[in-house]
Structure formats: structure tokens, C-alpha cells
Amino acid sequence: MIKFGFKIKTRDGMVIDNLTVIARDRADAERKIAQIYHYCDVLVCQELQQTMKDGFNLESAINLIDKESDLEAPAKKE
């Protein structure tokens, strides 16, 4: 799935910027926008880059979840 950013002009003439839609391709994204904003004009459509933090992998995600569960666990009495 790809994230698309839109700037549109509604049928009333109002310009709406920063609309974001996730879709398979540009045509699917424009179809979704047209379902929400009937008779709108697409002024700008651009594919947005989805960035992830460098060095992120499955092992670091598991370690992060493990750390959070340790914080949530009640302290054991000895």
C-alpha cells in the first residue's frame, strides 16, 4: 500500500490541502477521494515517502516490547 497526498478543490470552490489516502495505486487513491468529495478537482497528487527509522528490525522491536512489559509488570516481593 502506498500513501498519497492530495490538494483538491471542492465543488463549492474551497481548496483543501494535506489530504492523505492509503491505496494500491494513484487511480485507487483518486477514486477514494472522489467518493468522499463528490465533483472535486484534484489539483495536486503526490506519492508520499514512508520512512522508517534506520536500523529498525524485528529484533529491536521485540526488545522494545520486552522492555515495556518489564515496566508494566508489578514488582515481585521477595
Query: What's the pTM?
Result: 0.61
Neighbours of 16 (CB within 10 A): 14
Q: Which H or E run contains 46? A: strand 41-48
Domain boundaries, the chain: 1-49
Predicted confidence (pLDDT) per residue in 31-72, tens digit:
999 999 999 999 999 999 866 555 567 777 777 787 766 666
Q: Is the CB of residue 6 less than 8 Å from the CB of residue 28?
A: no
